[in-house]
Structure 1
Amino acid sequence: MSISRSPAKEYSSMPKRAQMDIPLVLGFSDEDKVETIQPHDDTLVVTLRIGGYDVKRVMIDQGSAADIMYPDLYKGLNLKPENLAAYSSPLMSFEGRMVVPKGLIRLPVQTSTDVVEVDLIVVDIFSLYTTIMGRPWLHTLRAVSSTLH
């Protein structure tokens, strides 16, 4: 994986982004495909630093219009109902059922040197993942995920 820097522009409607002297751009090369079985188009699952903790089983989903937190992470971070802001818009689960969120919480999410404040919608349903990071987070980072690598 190669890392380079490029200029970034701040937008007031985006989540707050920590100021960095040199913005980070993340890239992949053929070397990053070593030891993967091709064709490789599995779900992209990573470890991210969320709320100051290394969080495993984070799904990166370019198709999701929301950033989601599931019960395992909510409990693991020792969050309480009073930590949540109200969020009343229902969501659709993977099974096609309507899900009413428990609330919304803003937490720092770190990738390398970038720290972005993310509004995570907390839902109380089972998932193999702890979190889904979707388009809002990817857009703020100016990132594109690669299932190939």
Structure 2
Amino acid sequence: MTISFDEEDGDEEVEHHDGLVVSLTVSNCLMKRVLIENGSSTHIMFKNALESMGLQEADIIKKATIQYAFSGEPARTLGEITLPTYAKGVNLQTRFSVVDCPSSYNIIIGTP
């Protein structure tokens, strides 16, 4: 599925390079502060967001990997979880790497 924008969607007076932050329904919960990140191929969910959905660390498939944060520092994931994600009429099973660290976002969706 392709998400695109035309001239009517943008602000013609101000040019910016900010990230796209949206709300997204994940596992029947409306998750706010979802960052759409260009150039990343991984979908990341932060442990606090997972717990706010009523899920626990026991629901995570233990498969630790190393992810690199915006600052370039390595962070070990707790594992993976696959959850239904709904956007504009499309339901997808999405695999998230779960990370336990502070973040301004609940989820980061990668778009390689």
Using the size of structure 2 for normalisation, the TM-score is: 0.89
- How many percent of aligned residue pairs carry the same amino acid? 29
Counterpart-to-counterpart distance in 2, 1:131 and 1:41: 20
User: Counterpart amino acid of 1:80?
Assistant: Q
> What's the CA shift for 1:119?
0.6
Aligned to 1:110: 86
> What's the CA shift for 1:96?
1.9
1:1-149 residue pairs with structure 2 within 5 A? 25-34=2-11, 38-135=14-111
Structure 2 gap ranges (5+): none
User: Counterpart amino acid of 2:7?
Assistant: D
SS across alignment from 1:27: coil
Structure number with higher strand proportion: 2
> What's the CA shift for 1:37?
5.0
Residues 49, 107 of structure 2: 8 Å contact kept: yes
RMSD: 1.8
Q: How many residues align?
A: 112
Larger radius of gyration: 1
* Deviation sequence 1:17-52 (CA, Å, 0-9, x none): xxxxxxx65432211114x75112211101111111
Using the size of structure 1 for normalisation, the TM-score is: 0.68
- Runs of 4+ in structure 1 over 4 Å off: none
* Deviation sequence 1:90-117 (CA, Å, 0-9, x none): 1112222221111110001111100110
